[in-house]
């Protein structure tokens, strides 16, 4: 099989913006192809992760973004999986290249969340819940994740202060990330003093509504060498799977789906959790970072909340991994359909040594990405990337 590589990356600004979805995409693809031939000379197919058509009253994002970057008569598809849409788009691109069916594929994500306001975003996200058993009760994403957080705090030694420390860490990382939405630090007391959204989760425990787009070019080694790019990273492993849509019958403190897909990706890459240097996990809420660290085997059960600590200060059973070096969904931003691609952009920069010095992890050569859709692991995608 062909060895897929990420050969180029780009993002738009992340945050509240006047740019439309197609304009956000244009900014991202322009960065990715700076110094390269036009996409039409390279790209064989395009996959676009997008959560909801409600924000811009627009479907056909595959065709639209293909048109917007000059592609004609190539396969162009919108990929939907709520917040996992971006990683699903990346998975499709990787599998196309790995199979030898395509030489170079564009994996993208775009979301214009602010177009619908807070109410519109809340309603669009709630569409990811089971209509019969959850939506009609009026639950929202924060209230669903608050159930996980309440149970986690009940079953472990973690406190609301521990969750606040995760937010503080991720804001510190985002402050050193020029791509991030919130490029400023915060402190534990500010997090704890922020208003409850759904107890025990407060405003600063929650990822923001975000506009943004992200793009990666996945290509085989022949294309990568022809482009003479300075850096590329290898996609060494992929895992994907779906769990129940409703959380009623799930274990709220062990994200089984994330464990399964991370294991798939590890096995395909031929590595162990201890080999992972950096991990971009789906911290839509602070408790998610703790839960996903445990599910991915990076932390012992019940100790994932120690992720902000230096490796030597964590409990036995932790690896030396650094989590959410981009600032995570919490502070880099969470443009739903683009989030999984933005994770890949951070891993690319870390593994090629092109991250800003303040957040660059020395010697990083293996990265894990975990992107989820729906509540926790309704659908989950994991990628393992390695330095080429």
DSSP assignment of 24-48 equals: HHHHHHHHHTTTS--HHHH-SEEEE
Q: What's the confidence (pLDDT) of residue 99?
A: 96
The mean pLDDT value of the chain amounts to 96
The residue written with tokens 């809420």 in the block is: 285
Per-position DSSP letters for 271-305, written without gaps between them? --GGG--EEE---SBHHHHHHHHHHTTSS-TT-GG
CB count within 10 Å of CB 326 equals: 27
Per domain, the residue ranges of the chain are: 5-117+210-227
Cα atoms in the 13 Å half-sphere on the side-chain side of 190: 9
Give phi and psi for 144, each to the nearest 5.
-65, -50
pLDDT at 1 over 80: no
pLDDT over 70 for what percent of the chain?
100
3-state secondary structure of 301: coil
Tell me the three state secondary structure of residue 185. Answer: coil
Under DSSP, is residue 240 helix (H, G, I), strand (E, B) or coil?
strand
The span from the CA of 73 to the CA of 223, in Å, is 20
- Note the pLDDT of residue 91: 98
pLDDT in tens, 25-49: 999 999 999 999 999 999 999 999 9
How confident is the model over 238-274, as pLDDT tens digits? Answer: 999 999 888 887 899 999 999 999 999 999 999 999 9
**What separation, in Å, do the N-terminal and C-terminal C-alpha atoms of the chain show?**
17
How far apart are the C-alpha atoms of 69 and 22, rounded to whole Å? 10
Residues 124, 222: contact at Cβ < 8 Å?
A: no
CA distance 164 to 172: 12
Residues shown for the chain: 388
> Is it true that domain 5-117+210-227 has CATH number 2.30.110.10?
no
d(CA 130, CA 314): 37
User: What DSSP string runs through 119-136?
Assistant: HHHHHHHHTTS-TTTTGG
Full-prediction pTM beyond 0.85? yes
């Amino acid at each position: 099989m062909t060895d897929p590589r990420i050969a180029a990356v780009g993002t738009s600004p992340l945050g509240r913006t006047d740019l439309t979805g197609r304009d956000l995409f244009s900014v991202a693809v322009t960065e990715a192809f700076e110094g390269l031939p036009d996409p039409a000379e390279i790209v064989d197919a395009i996959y676009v992760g997008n959560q909801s058509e409600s924000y811009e009253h627009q479907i056909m994002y595959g065709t639209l973004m293909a048109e917007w970057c000059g592609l004609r008569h190539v396969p162009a598809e919108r990929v939907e999986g709520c917040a996992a849409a971006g990683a699903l788009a990346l998975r499709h691109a990787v599998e196309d290249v790995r199979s030898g069916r395509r030489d170079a594929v564009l994996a993208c994500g775009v979301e214009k969340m602010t177009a619908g306001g807070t109410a519109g975003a809340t309603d669009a996200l709630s569409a990811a819940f089971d209509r019969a058993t959850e939506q009609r009760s009026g639950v929202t994403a924060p209230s669903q994740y608050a159930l996980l957080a309440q149970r986690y705090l009940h079953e472990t030694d973690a406190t609301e202060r521990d969750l606040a420390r995760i937010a503080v860490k991720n804001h510190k990382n985002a402050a050193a990330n020029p791509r991030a939405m919130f490029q400023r630090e915060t402190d534990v007391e500010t997090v704890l003093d922020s208003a409850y959204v759904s107890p025990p989760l407060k405003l600063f425990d929650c990822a923001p509504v975000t506009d943004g787009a992200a793009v990666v070019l996945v290509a085989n080694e022949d294309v990568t060498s022809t482009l003479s790019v300075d850096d590329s990273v290898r996609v060494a492993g992929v895992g994907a799977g779906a769990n129940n849509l409703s959380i009623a019958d799930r274990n709220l403190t062990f994200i089984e789906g994330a464990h399964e897909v991370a294991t798939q990706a590890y096995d395909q890459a031929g590595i162990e959790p201890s080999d992972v240097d950096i991990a971009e996990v789906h911290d839509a809420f602070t408790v998610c970072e703790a839960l996903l660290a445990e599910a991915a085997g990076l932390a012992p059960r019940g100790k994932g909340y120690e992720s902000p600590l230096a490796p030597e200060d964590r409990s036995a059973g932790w690896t030396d991994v650094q989590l959410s070096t981009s600032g995570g969904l919490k502070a880099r931003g969470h443009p739903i359909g683009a989030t999984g691609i933005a994770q890949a952009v951070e891993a690319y920069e870390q593994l090629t040594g092109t991250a800003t010095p303040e957040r660059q992890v020395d010697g990083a050569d293996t990265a894990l990405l975990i992107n989820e859709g729906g509540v926790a692991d309704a659908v989950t995608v994991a990628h393992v990337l390695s330095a080429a």
